[in-house]
Chain A
Amino acid sequence: MKGDAKKPAKKSSSPSMMHIWFMRHLQVALSSLGRLTRSPIGTLMTATVLGIAVSLPAGMWVMLDNVKQISGNWDGGASLSMFLKADTNEQQVDELIGKLKLMPEIEHINYVTRDDALVEFQQFSGLGQALEILQENPLPAVLIITPTLQHSTPVQADLLLKKLNQEPLADMTQLDMEWVERFHAITEIAIRAVMVLASVLSLAVLLIIGNTIRLEIQNRHDEIEITKLVGATNSFIRRPFLYTGFWYGLLGGLIAWFLVTLSLWLLSGPIEKLTGLYQSQFRLDVLDLPTTIVVLLGSAFLGLAGARIAVGRHLRAIEPD
């Protein structure tokens, strides 16, 4: 395409030349599309293969986005939960809070009484009805302790955890950061995996389109030879093949979009049921506009690039004799 764009641009000082250049491109683009529609089954099969290849990373990307949406509800910072012994009375708690507040490591303490804990549990766990059967509140009071920023690193927070565990009123103290961190690490791996998959499948798209264009070049061997004979430039001969690659890519992108949307729609029912069980606010996101644009343009670009590689390799071999 670059080569194509350069040549007419040199001569196109007047707007009418620009217009002719544009019209010629439009004409080639449409005639390449027309050629594809003349063998709809073959075109659709190739485009579907491309669509499947593109839909895998695109679909996984959307799923990851959804997973990140869940994890986004937690603030990334560490916090420690100190569960107090059941027989602790309010005065002892006040004394403990006063003592903890003096510690330089601690930024903030949030006291959740046994009653507060019960209300929260009933609201968010989905097991509220089960608790109603129990005659007394089984939940302990909790101190949610936020360390200062310097003491939020895994090592520092762990030291603080050990210190707090020695507190006689504490039944158990746990660091909430741990599994958030693990979760982040897992999403990190998943993102990397999607990237690797996307690269490999992009290569597949390049090769599929390259091969399709190579066959197309072979089929049109005579035509290419004769156009060269009557003085066609290389960019003129390349142009319809590049547009063919572009259309294949775009069509593959559309099919990928359709496949991902269809899969999400099929998944949305069961997922709604599941999140309903957890009384969660979670909603499955569909392909948003930016992702859709990236999928379509990326796929079209891959088509163009695959065609360019194939054309560069095979057109040179055809010379009239």
Chain B
Amino acid sequence: MAFLTGHSGAGKSTLLKLIGLLEHATRGQVMVDGRNLGKVKSREIPYHRRKIGMIFQDHRLLHDRTVFDNVAMPLIVSGASRAETGRRVRAALDKVNLLNKEKAYPITLSGGEQQRVGIARAVVSKPPVVVADEPTGNLDPELSKEIMDLFLQFNQVGVTLLIATHDIDLVNQMNQRVLTLGSGQLIRDSANLQETF
């Protein structure tokens, strides 16, 4: 688990988009799971995205579908059976503490709850990597802390997380590796404290 920080425009979002192949690198290489993403053909992109759970500041939920249907999307897309889908969606909702809201529509939920639906959707298919772009951007500190603790739990069961945020206080509380970007360059890596300046 690592945090990605830096000023606006430093390239945090761009890096996450590159990982999810929402954007293609014009220069250099992006390696994920030992694979050069520049070499992924466009018809293979969907299969790559299934290995990456993505979480957004604006949740990106479908408002005409229930919480259950929203979370089930990655499973339906990859062709899981109905029984399997039900089981895993409920497990994911249980983890984010929203099991009682599965029939609700996202619009009736609070911001924090909506974000937790987004998180459940990102982890429901058990992807090895989860990237989150400002997941707590619209939440108050208390809710933000809850979300971060949730991420920590996922990390403890083996999920790799990369979380972009500019909430330095929160990052400091979490005591995890921090990567700082500036103008598209890595300017600080907390795992390599000798370079601190």
Contact A321 B17 (CB under 8 A): yes
Known: A222-B62, A226-B73, A320-B22. A231 touches B78 (CB 8 A): yes
A68 within 8 A of B: no
B6 within 8 A of A: no
Within 8 A of B (CB), among A217-246: 222-223, 225-234, 236
Closest chain B residue to A11, Cβ basis: B79
Contact B73 A230 (CB under 8 A): yes
Contacts of A222 in B (CB 8 A): 62
A313 within 8 A of B: no
Contact B62 A230 (CB under 8 A): no
A24 within 8 A of B: yes
Contacts of A131 in B (CB 8 A): none
Tell which of A20, A225, A231, A319 touches B77, judged by Cβ atoms closer than 8 Å. A231
Tell which of B61, B79, B121 touches A24, judged by Cβ atoms closer than 8 Å. B79
Contact B17 A228 (CB under 8 A): no
Within 8 A of A (CB), among B7-39: 17, 20, 22-23
Closest chain A residue to B48, Cβ basis: A231
B93 within 8 A of A: no
Q: How far apart are the CA atoms of A236 and B73 in the complex, in Å?
A: 12
Within 8 A of B (CB), among A1-56: 20, 24
Closest chain A residue to B65, Cβ basis: A223
Contacts of A233 in B (CB 8 A): 43, 46-47, 77
Q: How far is the CB of A11 from chain B (nearest CB, A)?
A: 9
Interface size on B, residues (CB 8 A): 22
Contacts of A223 in B (CB 8 A): 62
Majority SS of interface residues in chain A?
helix
Q: How far apart are the CA atoms of A232 and B80 in the complex, in Å?
A: 13
Contacts of A234 in B (CB 8 A): 43, 46
Q: How far apart are the CA atoms of A20 and B46 in the complex, in Å?
A: 20
Contacts of A225 in B (CB 8 A): 60
Contact B22 A230 (CB under 8 A): no
Tell which of B50, B81, B121 touches A20, judged by Cβ atoms closer than 8 Å. B81
B135 within 8 A of A: no
Q: How far is the CB of B129 from chain A (nearest CB, A)?
A: 13
Contacts of A20 in B (CB 8 A): 79, 81
Contact A231 B81 (CB under 8 A): no
Q: How far apart are the CA atoms of A234 and B20 in the complex, in Å?
A: 17
Q: How far apart are the CA atoms of A40 and B131 in the complex, in Å?
A: 42
Known: A24-B79, A232-B77. A226 touches B60 (CB 8 A): yes
Contact indicator per residue, chain A 287-321, by CB within 8 Å of chain B (1) or not (0)? 00000000000000000000000000000000111
Contacts of B166 in A (CB 8 A): none
Closest chain B residue to A16, Cβ basis: B81
Q: How far apart are the CA atoms of A24 and B82 in the complex, in Å?
A: 10
Contact indicator per residue, chain A 86-115, by CB within 8 Å of chain B (1) or not (0)? 000000000000000000000000000000
Contact B46 A228 (CB under 8 A): yes
Contact A321 B50 (CB under 8 A): no
Q: How far apart are the CA atoms of A321 and B49 in the complex, in Å?
A: 13
Known: A222-B62, A234-B43, A321-B17. A229 touches B79 (CB 8 A): no
Contact indicator per residue, chain B 63-85, by CB within 8 Å of chain A (1) or not (0)? 00000000001100111010000
Q: How far is the CB of A31 from chain B (nearest CB, A)?
A: 11
Known: A226-B60, A320-B22. A231 touches B17 (CB 8 A): no
B4 within 8 A of A: no
Q: How far apart are the CA atoms of A232 and B75 in the complex, in Å?
A: 10
Chain A CB within 10 Å, residue with most, of B20, B73, B121, B125: B73
Q: How far apart are the CA atoms of A232 and B72 in the complex, in Å?
A: 13
Contact A231 B74 (CB under 8 A): yes
B147 within 8 A of A: no
Q: How far apart are the CA atoms of A225 and B61 in the complex, in Å?
A: 11
B96 within 8 A of A: no
Contact B79 A227 (CB under 8 A): no
Q: How far apart are the CA atoms of A226 and B59 in the complex, in Å?
A: 10
Contact B73 A227 (CB under 8 A): yes
- Residue pairs across A and B with Cβ atoms less than 8 A apart, 7 shown, are A229-B54, A230-B54, A230-B121, A231-B77, A232-B46, A234-B43, A236-B46
B residues in contact (CB < 8 Å) with A = 17, 20, 22-23, 43, 46-50, 54, 60-62, 73-74, 77-79, 81, 121, 125
**Which 3 residue pairs spanning A and B have beta carbons closest together?**
A231-B50, A231-B49, A230-B74
Add 19 more A-B contacts to A231-B47, A231-B74 (CB < 8 A): A222-B62, A226-B61, A226-B62, A228-B46, A228-B49, A229-B20, A229-B22, A229-B49, A229-B54, A230-B73, A230-B74, A230-B77, A231-B49, A232-B46, A233-B43, A233-B46, A233-B77, A236-B77, A321-B17
